[in-house]
Amino acid sequence: MRKVLIIDTSVLCVWLQVPGMLDCGPQRDKWTHERIVEKIEASRAEGALLVLPLATIIETGNHITRHADCYNTAMRLSEKIRECANGDSPWAAFVEQAELWTTERLIQLADNWPILAARAISIGDATIKDVASYYLDMGRHVEILTGDQGLQEELPEIRTLPRRRAARTQ
């Protein structure tokens, strides 16, 4: 089973070395640039598919533009976007996520997000959860690489999905 590594905004900002965002996560589980590079390289060596959700791109771009000298960092993000758009290995092409942006799926998001918002889950995190569920439904092992404590708290719910589905189909 091919592993899927979904990259969240907090980790992408540290990986790209966005000014003011040189680490993320709680003190007991701090993500630094070096740790992220090691994790991504190890995942690539294992044959993992790297996924960059649209929400991650938008949020990271917003963080980058908050700095006066943002050109070089924006270029690093642009390189990742191109790699994803082209589906350059090990990146998943954006077309794999197109199903998540249909009219029906956007209406589902609109219907479900207020409940998530009441639990302090951002709309970006809600869509990242949808990306994780999409790959889980394909039978993939999914990991969200994040330093975001709020999204991290949602991971046990996401991780249990394949086991429940597998139990029903067997």
Beta partners for residue 147, in sequence order:
none
pLDDT band at 48 (very low <50, low <70, confident <90, very high): very high
User: Which of 19, 6, 82 lies closest to 49, judged by CA?
Assistant: 6
pLDDT band at 53 (very low <50, low <70, confident <90, very high): very high
| Mean pLDDT across 151-170 | 45
pLDDT value of residue 150: 62
Separation CA 100–CA 106 (nearest Å): 8
User: Which burial class, exposed, middle or buried, applies to 160 when counting CB atoms under 10 A from its CB (0-12, 13-18, 19+)?
Assistant: exposed
| Mean pLDDT across 53-80 | 93
pLDDT averaged over every residue in the chain: 85
131-152: pLDDT as tens digits = 988 888 888 888 899 987 666 5
Separation CA 72–CA 53 (nearest Å): 21
112 neighbors 119 (Cβ within 8 angstroms): no
Rounded to 5°, the CA angle 64-96-125 comes to 45
* Ranges 42-51, 89-98, 151-160, most confident: 42-51
pLDDT value of residue 83: 93
Q: How does DSSP classify residue 103?
A: H
Separation CA 19–CA 67 (nearest Å): 7
pLDDT value of residue 149: 67
67-120: pLDDT as tens digits = 878 999 999 999 999 999 999 989 988 787 888 889 999 999 999 989 989 988
pLDDT value of residue 162: 36
Give domain limits for the chain.
3-169
Residue 22 has pLDDT above 90, yes or no: yes
Beta partners for residue 142, in sequence order:
4
Chain-centroid distance, C-alpha 29: 18
Pick the more confident residue, 163 or 25: 25
Residue 165 has pLDDT above 50, yes or no: no
Pick the more confident residue, 116 or 166: 116
User: Which of 3, 27, 26, 25 lies closest to 14, judged by CA?
Assistant: 25
Please state the CATH superfamily assignment of the domain spanning residues 3-169 in this structure: 5'-nuclease (3.40.50.1010)
Instruction: Give long-range contacts, CB 8 A cutoff, 24+ apart: 62-67.
Output: 63/9, 63/13, 63/18, 63/21, 64/13, 64/16, 64/18, 67/18, 67/19, 67/20
49 neighbors 92 (Cβ within 8 angstroms): yes
